[in-house]
Structure formats: C-alpha cells, structure tokens
Structure 1
Amino acid sequence: MAPNVLFLTLISFLSVIPFKEAKLTQLKDSDRVNSLPGQPKTPEISQFSGYITVNEAKGRALFYWFFEAQTQPNEKPLLLWLNGGPGCSSIGYGAASELGPLRVKTNGTGLAFNTYAWNQEANLLFLESPVGVGFSYTNTSSDFTKIDDAFVAEDAYNFLVNWLKRFPQYKSRDFYISGESYAGHYVPQLAELVYDRNNVKSSSYTYINLKGFMVGNAITDNYYDSKGLVEYAWSHSVVSDQVYRQANQVCNFRLSNWSNACDDVVNTIYNEYKDIDIYNIYAPKCNLPQASFVANNRDGVEKLSAQEKFMRIRMLAGYDPCYSVYAEDFFNNADVQRSLHAFVREGDGKWRVCNDSILNAYNFSVFSVLPIYSKLINAGLRIWVYSGDADGRVPVIGTRYCMEAIGLPIKTQWRPWYQNMQVGGRVVEYEKGLTLVTIRGAGHLVPLNKPQEALLLINSFLLNKTLPTNK
C-alpha cells in the first residue's frame, strides 16, 4: 500500500473512535432525567433512564433507571439491582417502592424522597429484565417462548457491557449485584457469567470488575426452599400438626415432579395463607379493590398446581400500603413515561408491576444455584444472603438449609446484630466470605419493611464490615 493511502486509512480509522465516543456521550446526555412529575425539589438527584439494546438482530432492548450516589459518586461502587417474579419490575419494586431515592406516594400521584435509599452507599442501577417486563421490549415475538435463566443472564450481561460503553466512567469501578426473590437465580447466574467471561484468555469480552453479590429472601434450591416453606408454615402456627405430618409423609421434594398427594397437601398450606399475606405474615393485607383483582385474577394462580405455584414467585396482592397498586398508577402516567424516556409496547399498552405472560411462559430448568455459590466462593467473591424472617413464601428456614448445604466451616457463630440498640436480626459468618443475615420482623421485601436496617446491611456488605454485634 502506498504511504499516502496508508496515512489516509489510518486517519479515517482514528476518526471513527471520537465519533463513536461522541455518539455514546450524546446518548448518555439524552438519558438524563431532569425531573419527574411530583418529584420533590430537594434534594437534587442525578438520575438517568432509557433503553440499552441487548440484541440488535432481534430488536431486544432493556430499560434501566440509574441514580448516581448522593455523595462521592466518582469513588463509590456500582450496584445493580434485580427483582424476580419471574416477570416483575425492578423499577416498580426495587426503585420506586423499596431502596431507590424516589418512592411512589401512597396515592400514586407523586414521589417522596427516601431517606434510607441505597444510593447513599453506591451508584445504583435498576434493570427491568427479562424483555416483556415493565418498559423492556423485543421486536421478535418468538423471544417469549425462549425465556429461561440462561436467556435472562445473557441479556443482562449484554446490557451491562453496553451500559458501560454509555457510562465509561464506571468501567473500572468495583461492581456488585443484588436482588431478591427469583433474583436468587438471576443474581448468581449473572455473576457466574461475568466471572467466566472475565477469565476467558485472549478474549474480546469487556472486563467487569465484579467483587461479589448479595441476595435477599432468595429462591436458591428447590428441595431446601420447599422443605423450608412447609416447616415455616407449621412452626409459625399457620397449619395444623396433622397437615405438617401429612406433608412429611407424602412429599419428597427432591423429586422433579411432586406426587398428587404432595400437591394436594401443599395446596392446603397455600389455602391457609389466603386471609393473610404470605410475603409478610404479621402485616395487614392490602384491601384496595385493585389489589384483590391482582391477587385473585391476573396470574390465574388458582389454576396452577401447588408445584407450579411454588416455582412462580411473583408478588400476589401486597402488603399495606398497597405499593404495587400505587406504582402502577404512577408509571402509567403519560407525563412520567415521557420524563423517563419510556414507552409500553407489550400487551394492552399498560405498564404492569408484574407481567403474567412472562411468569406463565417461563421455562424453569434450573433447580439449584448452590453449585454456582461454591464456584464463586472459591473464586474469592464476597457473598451475603439475607432473609426477612416474617416471609412465609421464601422463608428463612429454607435459606438456612441452603447455606448449611454449601458445607463451609463457620467463622463466627450465630448471634444477634443491633440497630438503634435493638436486635435487628441474626448473623452467621462462614469462611471464604459467605455471610447469612436475618432481619427481624421483615417480610419478603426487606428494604420496604425495614428500610433503616436494610441501609445498614448494604453499607456493611459493600464495605466488608461486620454488622454491629454490640448495643
């Protein structure tokens, strides 16, 4: 090649780089949210939201909502939050009802500042996943027939890679993942995928500085979680001794398919929870008419077998103050959607806190993520698991069984930890960075029920500090 041609080719190649960077900067700037309807004027909140394409060929894009840390955003880690379901929104639950800095008010028409928001401790990223959840979408309808744990992990990984291109200042930042409920699958599976691709030699994969993950009230292992659900219902006086004995006689939860007798007795247990909230057994139920409709009709739960109900972890009704109903009212406001650069493509054009079609079509093919725990613990990642001890749906008993099954030596014994001179819960630390924490009096959604304790929890996890064990 002639020298002048080589020179022009090089100049042309180099000019593409700043062009791409300028385009990414432009996309980031266009994602900035200046203000939302009903948002309080103070304090100022730096926030972004929009779409990240995860598969161009299929037209799949995931929606995110991101809040910079309230102080020292240039130094604090990046934390990704995922809700489960499968099919429930991390925007409606995690961001707007639990741990984000802006929580939907009880009338659904405005926002209040959350003084216990987790972006005090980290740059906080919420993701609606998989496609079909909330504002996330696909242009290929056949995608909905393929959704399983691996599909979700791959899309979430591609989201992260492309989001970091748009926000390159976070590429080298310490990165953590957290979530609750069926995100007990999503979180460790995404962590494993990040870890594996970080360790591909001579790879073109983007390096993501993963340090660990934390999950709450997390579906982990079908056997232990099912066993725990039955034992919790009996030990907390929800079912009789006779029902408990019958369940122990006819149920073998190690089987991939339960017997009819087992299905019947577990349905009996579910029926005993009808008049209370299985997700927070000591809290009042939401009595709004909309919530009753959600609970009894939208997911067709009465048509499912007990085993199918067990696999579908989505929120039914809710816990006062009826947060899911208020979230739907807020995010279906056209002005809110415009401010968030969002739109609804699926179904009837309504934003739903949970998408029933995802729930009912989901392919449950992974029955335990405990092998991933062992793998990532041995790789040196820090892992915390927490459990609100008033949750009957994914109860602390099953979670304790799961952690014990990993087989690690105990570093510090089971003991209370304290918040404001009161017992916040219990904690046990295992060797190699595994910690189990309970939160006293919290249900399935710990940051909603016990926000102050949850903030202390995330602070201790990110800073790798022991929870306070002295008053």
Structure 2
Amino acid sequence: MTLISYLLLLVFSSYLLGFPVASTDNQINNLNKLIKSRGSDSPPYADPWTEHDVSNLSPFHIIPQEGSQEADRIDRLPGQPEVDFDQYAGYVTVDPHAGRALFYYFAESPQNSSTKPLVLWLNGGPGCSSFGYGAMEELGPFRVNSDGKTLYRNDYAWNNAANILFLESPAGVGFSYSNTSSDYTTGDKRTAKDSYTFLLNWLERFPQYKTRCFFITGESYAGHYVPQLAALVLSENKKANQTIINLSGIAIGNAWIDDNTSIEGMYDYYWTHALNSDETNVGINKNCDYVSGNFSDTCYKYQSQGDGEYGRIDIYNIYAPLCDGSTQKPGSPGSVKDFDPCSDGYVSSYLNRAEVQEALHVRNTSWTHCGGVGWTDSPTTILPTINQLIGSGISVWIYSGDIDGRVPVTSSRYSVNRLKLPVETAWRPWYYNEEVGGYVVGYKGVVLTTVRGAGHTVPSYQPERALVMISSFLQGELPPPSTV
C-alpha cells in the first residue's frame, strides 16, 4: 500500500466519528480529496516538476488593457469604514478562446505605495479563495462583522508593508470563471500558467508596477502554487521579448510541500501535543515507512486510529474554540485581535450580497470559499522546485503557525531537513513587544520561521506577529532578536 492510501477515509473521518466540521468546502478538505484521488486510475503524480515542464507551458495570451485600471477602481465597498488607500477589483482574461477569466482584489499601501513592493497572495486547497480567506479573514485590510453586512479595519493588514494583490485561482474558484466547462478540471500546470498569464496582463493594466520588486506568498496547498509560479516566472524571464517580472522572493506558510514529510510531521505533531495515545504513536512509528512511502495495512490502521483520537477540536488551530452559532451576537463589532471561529459564515454572507458583487465589478455569482474543481496533476513533492529557486538566488522563506495540527511545524521542519542545507544562522527566538513572536533558523538558501500562537491561517490568529514576520521577509532581514 502506498503513502496515498492512508487518506482513503480521512476526508470523511470527522463525519463517520460524529465530529462536527465547520464547512465541507475548505482548504484542508480539498487537500484531503486531492490526496485521496491519487490512485492507480489517476495520472502519474510522482514526478517532480522540472525546468522542461516549466518551459513547455507557453504561449501566453496578452490582451490590451487600456482604461481597465480606472474601471476596476473601487469607490467604496458596502459597509466599509473610511480608508486612506486605493483599492481595485475585477477580472483579467487569461484565455479569450475558452472565455477563462480570473478575479483579483488589489489593496495599495496607505503609506508610500509608489515605492513599496508588490506582493501576490495565493490560498491553497487546491481550489480555495485567496479573497475570501486571505483578504477577508487573514491579511487583507478588512474583516467582516458578524452581521455579514459591514466591515471593520484590520490595523495589521499586510498592505501596511506592501501593495497586496489577491488572486482567485484557478477558474471555478470564488468569482473566477470560464465559459468552457472542461476548464473546471485542471491541475498544477494550468494553474501556474494561468497565474503567470494573469500577471502579464495585470502588469499591462497597472504598468506603474512593472519594475517594482515582486514577491509571491501563500499558504497550505500554495506550497505548490507559489514555488511553481516562481519557477515559471524565472524561466520566462530568460526569454527574449518577454515581460521581465522582478521576482525577489517567495514565502509559504503551513505549506504542503512534500507528501511523505507532511504526513510524518502531522502524526508526530499529534503525539507530541497530546492528541494521540502512546499506543497509536508506537504503532505508526513501527509500521509506517516514510522514506519509501510504502505503507502496510497495519500502518494505515494506526493512522486512521490517530485521526479519530484527537476528538472535537479545530485541527487548524488545536487550541481555538469551535464555531457556536447559538452564541453569536449579530451587530456586535469584531476584533482583529480575537479571531471569530464563525468568520467563514460572515464572509460568505457578505460576498453573496448583490451590492457587494456590484462594487467588486463581478458578475452575479453564488460565491463559496472553495470551488468544485477537479485536479489532474500534482507532484507528490515540490522540494526539487524549491531547490531550483534556491539556486536562482531569490529569497525563500517557509513559515509556520505553531498550533496548526493539519500542516504543522513538524511537517515544515521535516521538509526543510530533506533539503540538507547547512545552517548559517542558528535557531533563536524572535520578538515583538518584548515577547517571543516565534523562532527562526537561517539555512543556506532558506529561512524557516515560526509564528507563536498562530494556527493554519497565521494572520487570522496572530495579526501583529504575522505583520512583523512578513515585513522582515520583505526587507531581507530575519525577524528581530530581543530588544531587552
């Protein structure tokens, strides 16, 4: 039995065991469905991306964009507070023949936007919304109040440090769409190609950003999206008569990078955080071979046992409360420092309001956090692609909220260890407000950092620390040591 087989029931285990799940369409459930689909009848998944794969993704559709920037300007979102920055939203067509178009939301920085870098944010899934999650629940300038109608300001939004571009990708996710139904079966390669085509056209629409320092960031299955898009950008930058995108670095959070190390790290995390029994941990370690990825039926039994032992908790943040609709108080103001576990519902209500969709310049859509897209190609490891990026000299950061149980910090550490990089800066704590904000270690070519007290969606739970972390990344510095 292969590594993939162990997840045959994982996506359904919460229901079978009677545990509540906040939503059936979220980043982790979509990831579980993808892994579950990796069977003998599926296309081959084991081969990592190579430079040959990347170079075969062209050609790309470039469409004139005159006048589109001003047409995308948002005068005001319904229910938003007063702001001191410009924001834009709309569609960029990536394939005019298929009628495939991707939705974006762009928030410029309130201070010195003309000199600050451009940052692209991608959520994972695969097939989940960078707007609904990233912009509205994590690092964007607003959060949604419990009434589902009004917004409040996120004082620790990442557009304090950069101009932030959120992309809903691939088609079928959020507001992004295609007029060709077969486009809703897609995969890593088309997602990278469409995202790159989007960037080329978006930079034509916003030419003032063509020479700006550019960074790609994301979380969860964006551990695939981000490195793959970065590899494509670097490959295309080498070609004559092509737009040069000034890629400076990538940062991926709680990222699914390598199947073997991600699964091994998950079960080790369960045991070390008192979510699994000693007996289950011994059974997993004795019967599961994470080096070869070949699992026995006994291994699968113990892994399934481990999935059932952690009980009724939010595995995204093992210490967070669950959403309890009976305690909600519609109309009460939200707090960016106290993440509301029912936020998915607020965001969905808000983005499905007709006046909101009109303000965002989108067509009438039944918006959901994650789209029902089918996936056709996905390598089981992204480590070779990360090695290519290290060789290119761009900045590579892997960060991890340390109380996420699904793609935990142990998975990130095991993945980085597979790269066998020498340590240049020894493991140390970093600080914010004279408290430990996390820990950091600098390898040759990669920085690994944690954010203390953060779950899977790091900026949701620790917005201040997340802003310090990403600001350090953009400045090319490690997070700050103690000032005491």
- After TM superposition, the score normalised by the length of structure 1 is 0.84
Counterpart residue number, 1:4: none
- Point out where structure 2 has 5 or more consecutive residues left out of the alignment: 1-61, 329-338
Shift of 1:273: 3.4
Could you tell me whether the CA contact under 8 Å between 2:260 and 2:293 is conserved in 1?
no
- The CA deviation at 1:375 is 1.1
Compare 398-407 and 121-130 and name the one that shifted more: 398-407
Q: Quick check: 1:165 aligned with 2:178?
A: no
Report how many residues are paired. Answer: 412
Of 351, 357, 363, the match for 1:343: 363
Structure 1 residue aligned with 2:391: 378
Deviation per residue, 1:234-274 (Å, 9 max, x gap)? 11110101111111223234556754433332222222334
Q: CA deviation at 1:364?
A: 4.8
Other-structure match for 2:187 = 148
For residues 86-165 of structure 1, the aligned pairs below 5 Å read: 86-145=126-185, 147-165=186-204
CA shift, 1:325, in A, is 1.1
Distance in structure 2 (CA, Å) of the matches to 1:390 and 1:324: 20
Q: Which residue does 1:6 correspond to in 2?
A: none
Matched, 1:394 2:407: yes
Identity percentage of aligned residues: 49
Residues 138-159 of structure 1: CA deviation (Å, up to 9, x unaligned): 11111122x1111110110000
For 2:306 and 2:243, locate their aligned partners in 1 and report how far apart those are by CA, in whole Å: 47
Contact 2:440–2:478 under 8 Å retained in 1 = no
| Deviation at residue 106 of structure 1 after TM alignment | 2.6
Counterpart of 1:72 (choices 92, 99, 112) is 112
Partner of 1:14: none
Letter in 2 for 1:32: R
Contact 1:37 1:335 in 2 (8 A): yes
User: What is the CA–CA distance in structure 2 between the aligned matches of 1:343 and 1:388, rounded to whole Å?
Assistant: 36
Match of 1:252 in 2: 289
Matched, 1:204 2:241: yes
User: Of 76, 81, 87, which residue of structure 2 is paired with 1:40?
Assistant: 81
- Which moved further from structure 2: 187-196 or 279-288? 279-288
- How do 1:137-286 residues align onto structure 2 when only pairs under 5 Å count? 137-145=177-185, 147-200=186-239, 203-254=240-291, 258-286=295-323
Instruction: Report what 2:368 is aligned to.
Output: 352
The answer as to whether partners of 1:222 and 1:253 remain within 8 angstroms in 2 is: no
Question: Contact conserved, 2:65 with 2:201, CA < 8 A, in 1?
Answer: no
Shift of 1:449: 0.4
Aligned-residue RMSD, C-alpha: 1.9
Q: Distance in 2 between matches of 1:255 and 1:108?
A: 48
Given candidates 339, 344, 347, the residue that maps to 1:324 is 344
Q: Deviations over 1:270-316 (max 9, x none)?
A: 2233400111001111123899xxxxxxxxxxxxxxxxxxxxxxxxx
CA drift of 1:413 comes to 0.6
Contact 1:106 1:321 in 2 (8 A): no
Paired residue for 2:475, among 452, 460, 463? 463
Equivalent residue letter for 1:391: D
Q: Does the residue aligned with 1:225 lie in a helix, a strand or coil? A: helix
Q: Over residues 317-354 of structure 1, what are the superposed CA-to-partner deviations in whole Å (9 max), with x where a residue is unaligned? A: xx74311111101000000000001125xxxx521011
Cα distance in 2 for residues equivalent to 1:234 and 1:219: 20
1:122 alignment partner AA: A
Q: Within 5 Å, give how 1:363-442 maps onto structure 2.
A: 363-432=376-445, 434-442=446-454
Give the AA of the match of 2:305. T
- Deviation digits for residues 391-434 of structure 1 (CA, Å, limit 9, x no counterpart): 000010110111122122111111111111111111001123x2
Equivalent residue of 2:398, what SS?
strand
Tell me what 2:459 maps to: 447
Match of 1:7 in 2: none
Q: 2:40 matched to which residue of 1?
A: none
**What is the identity, as a one-letter code, of the residue corresponding to 1:262?**
C
Instruction: Supply the distance in 1 between the matched residues of 2:294 and 2:375 (Cα, whole angstroms).
Output: 17
Return the structure number with greater helix share. Answer: 1
Which residue identity is paired with 1:331? L
Tell me, yes or no, if the aligned pair for 1:95 and 1:126 is still in contact at 8 Å.
Answer: yes
Q: Which runs of 4+ in 1 moved over 6 A?
A: none
> How far did 1:165 drift?
0.6
Structure exhibiting the larger radius of gyration computed from Cα positions: 1
Tell me, in whole angstroms, the C-alpha distance in 2 between the residues paired with 1:260 and 1:59. Answer: 46
Q: Which amino acid aligns with 1:269?
A: G
Moved more, 129-138 or 266-275: 266-275
| Aligned residue identity for 2:412 | T
| Paired residue secondary structure (2:442) | strand
- Alignment check: 8 A CA contact 1:290 1:325 kept: no
CA contact (8 A) 1:153 1:189 kept: yes
**Mapped partners of 2:215, 2:139: distance in 1:** 15
Structure 1 residue matching 2:134: 3-state secondary structure: helix
- Cα distance in 2 for residues equivalent to 1:230 and 1:192: 31
Query: What do the CA deviations read for 1:104-133 (whole angstroms, capped 9, x no partner)?
Result: 123321111110011111111000011100
The residue number in structure 2 matching 1:83 is 123
* Aligned partners of 1:79 and 1:175 also within 8 Å: yes
Cα distance in structure 1, aligned partners of 2:355 and 2:410: 44
Distance in 2 separating the partners of 1:290 and 1:85? 29
Counterpart secondary structure, 1:177: strand
Query: What is the letter of the counterpart of residue 450 of structure 2?
Result: T
SS in 2 for 1:218: coil
- Helix, strand or coil at the partner of 1:189: helix
Distance across 2 between alignment mates of 1:94 and 1:331: 14
Aligned-partner residue type, residue 111 of structure 1: L
- Contact between 1:285 and 1:320, CA under 8 Å: does it hold in 2? no
* 1:449 alignment partner AA: Y
The letter of the residue matching 1:362 is: W
Q: Write the distance in 2 (CA, Å) between the matches of 1:219 and 1:290.
A: 34
Aligned to 2:23: none
In the aligned structure 1, how far is the partner of 2:110 from the partner of 2:66? 22
Q: Does structure 1 conserve the Cα–Cα contact (< 8 Å) formed by 2:234 and 2:247?
A: yes
Deviations 1:160-185 (A, max 9, x none): 00100100110011000000000011
Q: Structure 1 unaligned segments of length 5 or more: list them.
A: 1-19, 292-318
